[in-house]
Chains A and B, each alone.
Chain A
């Protein structure tokens, strides 16, 4: 919008300005911008971080102030005050992460300079945590300060491929990506391939989140394609799946690509089956019993949002104390009861069974091992692959 406005001034200025004045302004402008450019000197945008990863050494008891960045509506109201009371640490809890890519764009210039913008900790999704770590933007954790994590982290999240020893990331919440349907309007959609059924033409939404949509299509092998083992997915596999999605978009099968706003389409019935997130479905279903999350017959995608400590983070000692605190099942149960995604802390279910059995027995909040047997974590992409694949996918999403 901004550039558009300044553009209008441009055409008008040139249309009405007599040539002499225009020339004078241009000269002035040239001089000024050269001057500013000269002052700017080196630097420029971006610049890689150092490859030597620092390791935190926790010393003494947690104290002082700690700043935690998280996604909106990702915590209950009581946990922060409880933690402050118990430890004496002052918490500044801010909800300024809305999108991995956008958040990265915002903090990257700071992180590249070894600064965290005052944040002691923030929460990002698996692949973004890995990307930041590889760029040298995150610190290794001092595991001696987080015994609860060692003890209570659920087994299936203990050694993900992007951080096999959980050196730098601790899951905040997990979730599943599968299908959300309108039971009344699309009763027989049970697989990702059903989303390509011409019967539902123009009534299907897919996610703009590439690492959810593309691997799901890739591993399902619809439309006569061979299912791909995500652990061995190549760049060509990614591009083939993107091509398949492009075909469905071009034919009008896919109505649109969305984020959480698929909720509107499902509620109005404009879309009858979408690729969507489990935690959303729990909340949507509470409002409209016709909406239901379904495990695709091909399996789902699993992801976690992780607490990480960036370079230059003030008070990492208190940040690790926070990690340790939320990994106590009693404290975790309080968060889980509000958030309704999948808890990474074992022992939480047992506590909630007593406090709130409806949450404890919801298979979307506490999925069993069999339930998620065919689910995968999105495979990682190298920098070069990532650029090509992201470009191809974005070209499809932006029509």
Chain B
């Protein structure tokens, strides 16, 4: 009886575990193995612990790597700066328009990602009114915006903004307004009530939003492909090129692993320093 009771939880785990194995562990295993192969597609690849694939790929493509993290970082910060006030306005001032405003945030998803990004080519085209304004403000130093890093960052920010807004909105929505009233009763100014009550309570949303924005942004290649120029390719573009045009599968696999490792390290550091407090905050609210 007790033995069976011990087995049952593992038994319940089987569907999930099987899914994870077939669609995550097995592909990862093959990719890891491929990243240590030598050879070409024509002569066939052979597995022989070729660690230099990693070294070569990194030394050849260090620039796109740094650029990816830079673009993703800047886009995340901008998305936070735009997204937080927006989520705040919807959660606290939305009133009967709340659902309509949320719908407006999600509405772009009704069009495909590619088409939305492609549309930005027209928005940022050299002769567009938007760019004329930017030029007049002295914000387009190279004379054009499309095919620059700024265009790529703008595209990423635009495409991932909903991923920032929705989690922040969800956490702000759950904030008990009586806590803010209590703070004000205790002579807190609006500002300090926000800093000491609202902001900490919404921290889990901020952490979730930044992660949901940064992680896919760092691996993105669509924005750099459509909006970037000759010097704005991200690591995703490099991996795509290695896989499809150079057909250097081992190098592509090695780069994918390095990208994944770097993102995981960045995320762990982030959660350790910024996240732990925020996640504790969530538990405190729950309790």
Contacts and interface: CB of A to CB of B under 8 A. Distances in A.
Interface of A: 3-4, 6-11, 13, 15, 21, 24-25, 28-29, 32-33, 36-37, 44-48, 99, 101-102, 104-105, 108, 135, 201-202, 249-250, 252, 254-257, 264, 268-270, 383, 387, 390-391, 394-399
- Chain B at the A interface: SS class: helix
B241 A270 contact: no
Given A202-B142, A202-B144, A270-B146, A394 B40 contact: no
Nearest to A208: B245
Given A32-B26, A396-B230, A399-B237, 4 more contacts: A24-B17, A44-B46, A105-B244, A252-B230
Contacts of A254: 229-230
B231 interface: yes
Contact of B229 (A24, A255, A396): A255
Interface string B141-157: 01110110000000000
A255 B231 CA distance: 9
Given A101-B244, A256-B230, A395-B61, A270 B24 contact: no
A48 to B, nearest CB: 6
A398 B237 contact: yes
Contacts, number: 157
B41 A46 contact: yes
Contact of B41 (A9, A102, A108): A108
Contact of B121 (A25, A47, A202, A264): A264
B11 interface: no
Given A252-B231, A398-B241, A9 B20 contact: yes
B74 interface: no
Majority SS of interface residues in chain A?
helix
Contacts of A25: 13, 17, 20-21, 25
Contacts of A399: 63-64, 67, 228, 230-233, 237
B173 interface: no
B283 to A, nearest CB: 14
A37 B237 CA distance: 30
B10 interface: yes
Given A202-B143, A252-B231, A29 B21 contact: yes
Interface stretch (B75-83, B177-185, B195-203, B256-264): B256-264
A4 to B, nearest CB: 5
Interface string B8-52: 001001000100110111111101000000011111111000000
A108 B215 contact: no
Given A7-B260, A256-B147, A399-B63, A45 B44 contact: yes
A29 B25 contact: yes
28 contacts: A3-B31, A3-B260, A8-B216, A24-B13, A29-B20, A29-B26, A29-B29, A33-B21, A33-B25, A36-B26, A45-B249, A46-B42, A47-B43, A48-B44, A101-B245, A102-B244, A104-B247, A201-B143, A255-B144, A255-B230, A257-B230, A264-B121, A268-B127, A270-B146, A383-B42, A391-B246, A397-B233, A399-B232
